[in-house]
Amino acid sequence: MITMKRNARITLLLLLIAGLWLALKPTLGNRRFTFLPFRLSEYIDFMDFWLNLGSFALLGLTVWLAFGALEKAFSRMWMMTGFITLLNITLELVQSSIPGREMDFADVWAGLLGCVLGIFGGIVLQLLSIRKKTGRTSPQVLFLDQTGRLGGAELMLLDIAAARAADSEALLFQDGEFRTALENIGVKTTVLALGEDASTVDKQAGLKRVLRSIPGILQLMLQVVQAARSFDVVYANTAKALIIGGPAARLAGRPLIFHLHDIIADGHFSMLNQQALILCANHCAQSVIANSEATKDAFIACGGRAELCVVVPNGFRIPTERSSTEETKSLRTSLGIPSAAWTVLMAGRLAHWKGQHVLLEALKAVPNAHAVLLGDALFTDEDRKYAQQLHTQAEELSGRVHFAGFQSKTMPYFDMADVVVHASVYPEPFGRVIVEGMLACKPVIASRAGGAAEIISHEQTGLLVNPGRPTELADALLRLQHDSEFASIIAHQALQTARATYALSAVQEKIEAVIHQIASPQEPEVLSSIIPPKKSPPCAA
The footprint of ligand GLC (CB under 6 A) covers: 151-153, 156, 261, 291, 314, 428-432, 451
User: What DSSP element (H or E) covers 453?
Assistant: helix 450-455
* Length of the chain (residues): 541
Q: Which does 294 bind (CB under 5 to 8 A by kind): ligand UDP, ligand GLC, none?
A: none
End-to-end CA, the chain: 32
* Paired strand residues for 343: 370
Query: Is residue 427 a contact partner of residue 354, using CB atoms and an 8 Å limit?
Result: no
Question: Taking CB within 5 to 8 Å according to partner kind, which of ligand GLC, ligand UDP, none is near residue 349?
Answer: ligand UDP
118, 56 contact by CB (below 8 A): yes
CB of 19 to ligand UDP, least distance (A): 54
Minimum gap (Å) between residue 149 Cβ and ligand UDP = 10
Contact in structure between 61 and 125 (CB atoms under 8 Å): yes
Comparison of 151 and 253: residue with beta carbon closer to ligand GLC: 151
Q: What minimum distance in Å lies between the beta carbon of 151 and ligand GLC? A: 5
Q: Which does 443 bind (CB under 5 to 8 A by kind): ligand UDP, ligand GLC, none?
A: none
Residue number with CB closer to ligand UDP (296 or 349) = 349
**Least Å from the CB of residue 340 to ligand UDP:** 25
Backbone dihedral angles phi then psi of residue 444, each to the nearest 5 degrees: -115, 135
Amino acid, res. 421? V
171 three-state secondary structure: strand
User: 290: burial class by Cβ within 10 Å (0-12, 13-18, 19+)?
Assistant: buried
Residue 290: strand pairing partners? 260, 311
Report the C-alpha gap between 126 and 120 in whole angstroms: 10
Query: Please, what is the minimum distance in Å from the beta carbon of residue 213 to ligand GLC?
Result: 22
> What is the phi/psi pair of residue 496, to 5°?
-60, -45
Distance CA 343, CA 326 (A): 17
Distance CA 348, CA 494 (A): 20
Q: Which does 436 bind (CB under 5 to 8 A by kind): ligand UDP, ligand GLC, none?
A: ligand UDP
In the bound state with ligand UDP, the residue whose beta carbon lies nearer, of 246 and 431, is 431
Taking the complex as a whole, how short is the minimal distance between the CB of residue 453 and ligand UDP, in angstroms? 15
**DSSP secondary-structure letter at 325?**
H
- Between 349 and 357, name the residue whose CB sits nearer to ligand UDP: 349
Helix/strand/coil for 500: helix
* Residue nearest ligand UDP (C-beta atom): 152
The neighbouring-strand residues paired with 446 are 464
Nearer to ligand GLC, 139 or 451 (CB): 451
Interacting partner of 374 out of ligand GLC, ligand UDP, none (Cβ under 5 to 8 A depending on kind): ligand UDP
Pick 304 or 431: Cβ nearer ligand GLC: 431
Q: Which of ligand GLC, ligand UDP, none binds 291 (CB below 5-8 Å, type-dependent)?
A: ligand GLC
Least distance CB 259 / ligand GLC (angstroms): 8
Measured distance CA(401)–CA(534) in Å, rounded: 60
Q: How far is the CB of 316 from ligand GLC (least distance, A)?
A: 11
Question: Of the two residues 71 and 376, which places its CB atom closer to ligand UDP in the complex?
Answer: 376
Residue 232 CB, shortest distance to ligand UDP, in Å, is 28
DSSP 8-class letter at 538: P
Q: Which does 362 bind (CB under 5 to 8 A by kind): ligand GLC, ligand UDP, none?
A: none
Of 443 and 451, CB closest to ligand GLC = 451
**Residue 246's binding partner out of ligand GLC, ligand UDP, none, with CB under 5 to 8 Å set by partner kind:** none
Contacts to ligand UDP by CB under 6 A: 150-153, 155, 347-349, 374-375, 406-408, 410, 430-433, 436
Nearer to ligand UDP, 97 or 408 (CB): 408
Q: How far is the CB of 177 from ligand UDP (least distance, A)?
A: 10
Task: Please list the residues that pair with 171 across neighbouring strands.
Answer: 144, 190
Q: Which does 164 bind (CB under 5 to 8 A by kind): ligand GLC, ligand UDP, none?
A: none
**Closer by beta carbon to ligand UDP, 248 or else 347:** 347
Side-chain half-sphere CA neighbours of 276 within 13 A: 24
Amino acid identity of residue 12, one-letter, is L
The distance of Cα 299 from the centroid of its chain, to the nearest Å, equals: 15
For residue 27, the tally of other CB atoms under 10 A from its CB is 6
